[in-house]
Amino acid sequence: MNTVNDVEVVVVGAGLTGLAATAFLAQQGVRVLTVDQHPGTSVHPKARLVNVRSMELYRALGVESEVRAAGEPNRGFQVAGTLAGDWETWIEPPADESDAAGLSPTVAYSCDQQRLEPILLRYARERGATVRFDTTAVLTDPIEGRPTVTLHGRGGEETVVRARFVIAADGARSSIRTQLGIALRGEKVEGESVSAVFRAYLEPALRGRQVNAIMCRDAAAFLFARGTENDRSWQLGTYLRPGWEALAPDALSDKLIEVIRAATGLPGLRPVIEDTARWTTGAYVADRFRVGPVFLVGDAIHVMPPYGGFGGNTGVQDAHNLAWKIAAVCRGDAADALLDSYESERRPIVELTVAQALLRSQKTPGQAPPEAQIDAISIALGFQYGRDGGVPVEDPVSPSGEPGTRAPHVRLADGRSTIDLLDPVRFTLIGPNTSRVLRELTEHPTDLVAAAPVDTSVIDSSQRKRWEGIYETDRTEGLLVRPDGIIQARIGTSSDLHAVLRSCLQLRSE
C-alpha cells in the first residue's frame, strides 16, 4: 500500500464537471489528483450545448478555440414527421447563441461531451494535475482533519491519499453523497429514456439540408446531429417501449434500429450503432453541498431534465465558483470561512435552474413558453450571487454592475473585451486609467490584485454608454472583480481596497 500526502485536493469523478474542476484548480496552481472508475473519458455524447457563460470560462482557460474546433454552431431545432419529410417548424437557437446578442466576447456552441472532456483532461495534465482512470475511491475520514481517500486500482493496487479537500463529482448516483447521508429533494420525471449513438449515411433524407436536432413525430423520437460536419455521427433519443426492459443489449439495438428507420424515413437504412444508454431523470437538489472539507458539484448535487441544456453547464459553473475559493484557502490568502459561500451562492442558482429545466420538460417543442419561463441568456449571464430574496437573475442586456453579478462585457476598440482583461487567478481592479486607486495599485502592486486600467479612448464608440454606466461612474474608481469574473465591490474614492479584500476573503482585520 502506498501513501500520498502532497495532494491538496482529490476530485472523485472525471466526467465533464470533474475534469472542469480539475482544470480550474490546475489553472490556480493547486496540487490536484482526480480519479475515475471508468477506463477513460466518456464515449457517449451526453451534454452537447456549451452555453455562453461556459464558453467564457473555457476562453479564460485558453481552450476556446479547441472547443470550437471540436464542435459546430447550433442550427436550431426542427419538428417534422420524419427526417426525410417536410420540416414543418423551425425553432431558432436562443438569443445567447447568436453573435447579435453582443453580451459576451464569445458565443454558445455545440460540442459533444465526449469531445470536450479530452480537451479539459489535456489542459489539466499539462498544468500538473494527476488524473487516474480505472480507479475507485473510498472516502475513509470525511469530516474531521485532513480527509483520507483510499484508491483501488483495477490491478489490485491500493493507495491512501491524505488531502486537504475532496470534491465529489461522481454523478447523480454519487457514492460520496450517499456515504455522507445527504438526500436529494425533488420530483421524478416519469418514464425511462433510451438513446443510441449511430453512424449512417443520411443524405437521402437530408437532401442538402442541415439540422442540429429534429423531433420526428412518426417515430416518437428525436434525432440529434453529433460530432462535426466532417466527422458526423447521430444520436437517437426515445422512450423505453413496453417489453424492452429485459432485453439484452443486442436485442435492444435491433429494436432501436427499427426506430431509427422510422425516424429517418429510410426503411432500408442500415445504421451502425456505436453505443446505447438507458436513463431516467427528475428535478432534484441536494440537502447539502458540503460536509466539512468535502464538497459536492455537478450531478452529485443537482439532477435536472435535459431540456435547455442546463445540466452540464451548471456543473461546470459549480466547479468554477468553488475552485478559486479552495485555491485561495490553500495558498493562505483566505480563511476557511470563505468556503461557506460556495453553497450560499450556488444553491439559489441551482434551484432556479433545476426548476427552469423541469418547466421546459413539461411543454411540447414549438409551444410558446409559459409565463414563468426565464430566457436562457438571463440564466447564463444575468445570475446574481447574494441577492436578498426574489429571483436571483437580472437582465444581462441592462446589467446593474452590482456586487454578485458577472462583470459585463464591453468591447474595446482593439477588438478585445473587458472580460479579457480580468485575471482568472487573482482579483482584478478594472476601471478608467484616470482612477486614483488604480494608479496607486499600479505603482504599488500586490499579489492578490491585478490592475486593469482602461484608456477610455479605446472604448468602442458603440459601447461607451455601457462602459460609463458600469465601470466609470461618479461613485466608482474601479470595480473589484473576483477570479471567477464576479463583481465583489465598487471601489470609490474613499474606499480602502485592502479592507474590502480582507472582508471578501474572510480574514480578520490587521
SS3 of 255-278: HHHHHHHHHHCCCCCCCEEEEEEE
Mean pLDDT of all residues in 323-329? 98
What pLDDT score was predicted for residue 316? 98
What is the reported pLDDT for 283?
A: 96
pLDDT at 365: 65
- Classify strands 130-132 and 77-80 as parallel, antiparallel or unpaired: unpaired
The angle formed by the CA atoms of residues 484, 487 and 488, to the nearest 5 degrees, is: 100
The answer to whether 182 and 275 are in contact (CB under 8 A) is no
How is residue 504 written as a grid cell? 471578501
pLDDT in tens, 247-262: 998 999 999 999 999 9
3-state secondary structure of 471: coil
User: Which pLDDT score is estimated for 144?
Assistant: 61
Q: Looking at the domain covering 399-505, what would its CATH class be?
A: alpha beta
Most confident of 210-219, 395-404, 481-490: 481-490
Least confident of 46-60, 94-108, 367-381, 427-441: 94-108
Among 10-24, 303-317, 441-455, 492-506, whose mean pLDDT is lowest? Answer: 492-506
Query: Domain 7-71+111-183+287-362 belongs to what architecture?
Result: 3-Layer(bba) Sandwich (3.50)
- 143 confidence band (pLDDT: 50, 70, 90): low
- Report residue 61's pLDDT band, with 50, 70 and 90 as the boundaries: very high
Asked if the domains at 7-71+111-183+287-362 and 399-505 fall in one CATH topology, the answer is no
Share of the chain above pLDDT 90, in %: 71
- The domain limits of the chain are 7-71+111-183+287-362, 399-505
* Cα dist from 351 to 184, 303, 321, 429, whole Å: 12, 10, 16, 31
All three cell numbers of 105: 466576447
137 to 21, 131, 186, 228: CA distances (angstroms): 17, 13, 28, 35
Per-residue pLDDT, averaged over 498-504, amounts to 89
Distance (Å, rounded) from C-alpha 370 to C-alpha 322?
33
Nearest by Cα to 18 from 216, 239, 170, 209: 170
- Residues 174, 300: contact at Cβ < 8 Å? yes
- Mean pLDDT over 385-413 rounds to 92
- How far apart CA 63 and CA 57 sit, in angstroms, is 9
Q: Which residue has the cell 459549480?
A: 318
How large is the average pLDDT for residues 132-141? 92
Query: How many CB atoms neighbour CB 64 within 10 A?
Result: 18
pLDDT given at position 100: 44
Say which amino acid occupies 446: T
410: left (phi over 0), alpha (psi -120 to 50) or beta: beta
- Banded model confidence at residue 462, pLDDT cuts 50, 70, 90: confident
Asked if residue 502 lies in contact with residue 335, where contact means CB atoms within 8 angstroms, the answer is no
Residue 461 is predicted with a pLDDT of 81
Q: What number of helices (H) and strands (E) belong to the chain?
A: 13, 24
Residue of 45, 84, 77, 74 whose CA lies nearest to 199 = 45
pLDDT value at 26 more than 60: yes
